[in-house]
Structure 1
């Protein structure tokens, strides 16, 4: 009987068992990032922290309640609101108006909307909230909400000046910063969001998602999502029921991570063997339910939380609803840039659910059994990374866009911690409404895991074909000891084909076997190994000509000399995986030296080009090979000849220039063209030498 059960479990996953990925020590044995009070980590509570009672708020003589670097707090004296009394507009402190308004008992949803309108202007109708409280809820449940839960929410919200007396720093773009808050402080912020007390500013709203629940209360225009909105409100109400009945005692850390372009991995040079990364591929289960102890990926919007406070009800929104403490990040995390990610550690799960999208339903209260780390955080770590939305799916195979997704995943997965890193629990990142290719995203995340030193736990969400195909392809990578650089080179050529995205695995396999037969065209006609392009840091060396056209000279020079996109100090950056030595590269210049073709031809060494081709073909015993090796600078002279005389037609005719730009393999040319090209080049330089 035990063997039969074991066999049935085996059918749900392929690769390495989850137990083996955890090294037999269980999912909670992995290392965690510490909480250290530094200039880059803001801690809003006092040490030491125990689980016996909530941490005390940290109080400082420096108070920041209303400036550009901090959240504009509702209780700030600068938070003013115009009130019309006796046909006269009077300016009042908004916090006093809030406290006075909410001190009056509220017994219906209409009274609730009326109260919020007294300290907000031009609010939409709360049709979704009215429908939820009056239609979805039973009379008894609605009565409990207005008599017990709502008064406790109001009482919790009004503690804001005591629980967060110094304000909240903003986690701005192009900075690596961390912020740790107690769960009690987070519950107070969410209570204020429920009551819509945070001031709204148009300039801030364009880059910060916003936290007030106004849009959720009024999301009633899409009939097919009305049920989902009600289920979200059930989850939120259950969260407030829990935290107002039993105050949580843990803490949560939000870390915004940024790596500049010059410090990103060189994907075309990494020699990590992809087969050394363990994979566990499961067709059943969920990231949050079965990826316990892992770095769990949130398929995010660049505005974290996406449509959680509106109609959205897919992977990210569901995660934010079952773990409402994530919603507070919308208050202080600015919109994510290309090389940025957010990692949240310590959130607690309060709700169970079923369904997805239109079928989402709250499935009752959830008791989170996740243990705490040494810093009193739940051992739940969530990686928030946003994928690109592709209107034309074929575009995602452009080199620049593959690099963008690789870098985004790498930022999320990389950590300064070394040894015993948790595996990444992920799935079809950006493959739903964003039209990403499942085959491509599996490889991108595998490469990012390998570069980050983490194993991969992949959930296909019921897609058996993806499970089978991905696992077989992983075996192919491991058996042939294919590296990140090799896989990158194969992926970078896929767009030039007419194959559909489901043929990606087959294309890479065929490209690998073809590359084993013959050297590439570049090996025959290319430049010497040591070139400026190969020494450039970051993704520049692997960029195509198309990518260079879209990059300014200033941006290229920033990458070349190792400058970053931020004014942060080097201590504020994620450590580079590349050598620290910055290559010395001559500055770009608009001036151009004009040389005649006759002078260049005179300076060409008297070299037997056929001997060089013999050498490249492996016939090193033929006479003249050593002379050719001694005069290998001939290739550099040929390049200079081509550039200065602008006679590309000779090289286009020979198929050489095309080979350089597209890096096509020698076997992609027919044998006739290849042999003819060799003969023409040999004949040409024989005449030149004479």
Structure 2
């Protein structure tokens, strides 16, 4: 079923979602199973049953302490200087100090800050955390946290050596590698992040986002975001309440994708017709709600998660805070390069929310009904791709910047598997705060989807005019059998043309007419005038080839 722009009252256009799903519903697309290999670290025993949490897998007993693996807080090599009776400092295993500190009674956020500071020095003041407990929560909620929930979080954190005895490899730049963890292992890692137990690594402080919650606990300097930060803390507490009440039994896979120059398409040579890619464009709905079963785009920061553990509260940060298992990717995913993406399969949603930015609010528990695949992962696949931030928006139309963005989108959308691939669920990627043009980004993503042989579902987040415009330019491209290479050429021409950005779509249409030696629209309006001016009383009444350009 195809909706057209002439249909009044429609909030979507293009191919219906039923047809996007090929008539089989959202869960019919194949997801490659988890298979342990040299490039895929599986840190639990296979196969799993979903009756109970998978048993941990450990191939070696030594805890690696090098540049290729996560430094675990319980490693014997994680040492902390302790002052003795003589005032001398001697190294002591940090894990023993952590255990001693966390097992003492803690009755308030200020006592919690003192305890954490005993094994992790140099942290900022936990002003946001104190505001949360002293001004936001009710007395009964505070009591339940310190008497019930916090002891459970501590137990979950201190159980890490048994829950995850294996070594977690780092997903470094320039490599395509994967990690699969059980949800319980992720919960234990996040419990340690909440308690700030991970050792500080000077070599990775700028290249890895970091997982400690200390920055979120301290995010109190911007009054307009204080409420949103408190709401994020509600999401965090709700997550831990869920996973400490009933142990999760599924698994999650984190895949870093890297493409070398030779692996990327030659966009000026691709003859794929854009009409082969079906699109559904909607002015209502959200990627995470209406994109079930699809490859859902996270409008990412190059440091995945962006400001989720800070003031950030837009598309990516909200996605990470209501799907907290995504946060663990910050522990081992190095900053994304220009031709790299991160795909996360299996994350569970724990919270519902309202609002956006400073109006964000936790609303209620979310019972995620997404079914599991054959490997025990929820059938939710999220791809993180980071767009360029443009200080001067006009620069985004340059060939080099379009080239970078289309390669980034392709890195996220491409699959090495050739079975029926789920379409891409996306929207105004890199727009808003990053100052991208939705018209340009919709075309870039359409081209990347076409090259990757996926259909596209595009959400304009309430912008009905953009919804119409995207559909109309797609109809033009499809009707005229425009190929990827042709559209690439038109975008390159636009970069050099002195045309206002809002005329991008009309410029492409005119460029295509020109390439076919067709009349432009204005020529049709002055057609009769041209003919009358060229005739003389002595000429025949029949037009000649000199009257008008020949149309191919």
TM-score (norm 2): 0.91
Q: Deviations over 1:336-378 (max 9, x none)?
A: 0011001000000000011110110001110000000000000
Q: 2:153 corresponds to which residue?
A: 153
Instruction: Give the Cα separation in 1 of the matches to 2:439 and 2:110.
Output: 51
Q: 1:639 corresponds to which residue?
A: none
Q: 1:75 corresponds to which residue?
A: 74
SS of 2:174's equivalent?
coil
Cα distance, 1:62 vs structure 2? 5.0
Q: 2:10 corresponds to which residue?
A: 11
Instruction: Give the Cα separation in 1 of the matches to 2:456 and 2:266.
Output: 21
Q: 2:539 corresponds to which residue?
A: none
Instruction: Give the Cα separation in 2 of the matches to 1:230 and 1:210.
Output: 20
Q: 2:453 corresponds to which residue?
A: 453
Cα distance, 1:92 vs structure 2? 1.3
Q: 2:435 corresponds to which residue?
A: 435
Q: 1:549 corresponds to which residue?
A: none
Instruction: Give the Cα separation in 1 of the matches to 2:72 and 2:196.
Output: 12
Cα distance, 1:495 vs structure 2? 1.7
Larger radius of gyration: 1
Q: 1:55 corresponds to which residue?
A: 54
Instruction: Give the Cα separation in 1 of the matches to 2:348 and 2:264.
Output: 32
Cα distance, 1:85 vs structure 2? 4.2
Q: 1:303 corresponds to which residue?
A: 303
Instruction: Give the Cα separation in 2 of the matches to 1:10 and 1:192.
Output: 51
For the pair 1:189 / 2:189, whether they are aligned, the reply is yes
SS of 1:458's equivalent?
strand
Q: 2:488 corresponds to which residue?
A: 488
1:70–1:170 contact (8 Å) kept in structure 2: yes
Q: How does 1:35-434 map to 2 (within 5 A)?
A: 35-86=34-85, 87-434=87-434
1:65–1:166 contact (8 Å) kept in structure 2: no
Instruction: Give the Cα separation in 2 of the matches to 1:90 and 1:260.
Output: 47
Q: 1:85 to 1:337 in 2, by over 3 A?
A: same
SS of 2:81's equivalent?
strand
1:296–1:424 contact (8 Å) kept in structure 2: yes
2:47–2:375 contact (8 Å) kept in structure 1: no
1:228–1:358 contact (8 Å) kept in structure 2: yes
Cα distance, 1:432 vs structure 2? 1.1
SS of 1:352's equivalent?
strand
Q: 1:185 to 1:8 in 2, by over 3 A?
A: farther
Q: Deviations over 1:455-505 (max 9, x none)?
A: 000000011110011101100001100000000000001122222211100
Q: How does 1:489-528 map to 2 (within 5 A)?
A: 489-517=489-517
SS of 1:45's equivalent?
coil
SS of 1:451's equivalent?
helix
1:257–1:412 contact (8 Å) kept in structure 2: yes
2:425–2:456 contact (8 Å) kept in structure 1: yes
Instruction: Give the Cα separation in 1 of the matches to 2:314 and 2:207.
Output: 22
Cα distance, 1:275 vs structure 2? 1.2
Instruction: Give the Cα separation in 1 of the matches to 2:139 and 2:90.
Output: 40
SS of 1:82's equivalent?
strand
Instruction: Give the Cα separation in 1 of the matches to 2:396 and 2:39.
Output: 35
Q: 1:236 to 1:489 in 2, by over 3 A?
A: same
Instruction: Give the Cα separation in 2 of the matches to 1:266 and 1:379.
Output: 32
SS of 1:382's equivalent?
strand
Q: Deviations over 1:131-151 (max 9, x none)?
A: 001110011111111111100
Cα distance, 1:11 vs structure 2? 1.4
Q: 1:144 to 1:263 in 2, by over 3 A?
A: same
Q: 1:630 corresponds to which residue?
A: none
Please list every run of 5 or more consecutive structure 2 residues that lacks an aligned counterpart in the other structure: 1-5, 519-548
1:64–1:70 contact (8 Å) kept in structure 2: no
Q: 2:535 corresponds to which residue?
A: none
Q: Deviations over 1:361-414 (max 9, x none)?
A: 001110000000000000000000000111111111111111111110001000
Q: 1:10 to 1:186 in 2, by over 3 A?
A: farther
SS of 1:362's equivalent?
strand
Q: 1:20 corresponds to which residue?
A: 19
Q: Deviations over 1:317-337 (max 9, x none)?
A: 000000000000000000000
Instruction: Give the Cα separation in 2 of the matches to 1:54 and 1:304.
Output: 27
Instruction: Give the Cα separation in 1 of the matches to 2:235 and 2:84.
Output: 39
SS of 1:493's equivalent?
helix
Instruction: Give the Cα separation in 1 of the matches to 2:387 and 2:32.
Output: 25
Q: Deviations over 1:70-91 (max 9, x none)?
A: 0001011111111234433232
Please list every run of 5 or more consecutive structure 1 residues that lacks an aligned counterpart in the other structure: 1-6, 519-670, 672-690
Q: 1:587 corresponds to which residue?
A: none
Instruction: Give the Cα separation in 2 of the matches to 1:85 and 1:139.
Output: 40
2:63–2:75 contact (8 Å) kept in structure 1: no
Instruction: Give the Cα separation in 2 of the matches to 1:144 and 1:11.
Output: 48
Instruction: Give the Cα separation in 2 of the matches to 1:128 and 1:85.
Output: 34
Cα distance, 1:34 vs structure 2? 2.1
1:63–1:165 contact (8 Å) kept in structure 2: no
Cα distance, 1:126 vs structure 2? 0.4
SS of 1:150's equivalent?
helix
1:394–1:495 contact (8 Å) kept in structure 2: no
How many correspondences in the alignment? 514
Q: 1:20 to 1:154 in 2, by over 3 A?
A: same
Q: 1:362 to 1:8 in 2, by over 3 A?
A: farther
Q: 1:282 to 1:511 in 2, by over 3 A?
A: same
Instruction: Name the one with the larger helix percent.
Output: 1
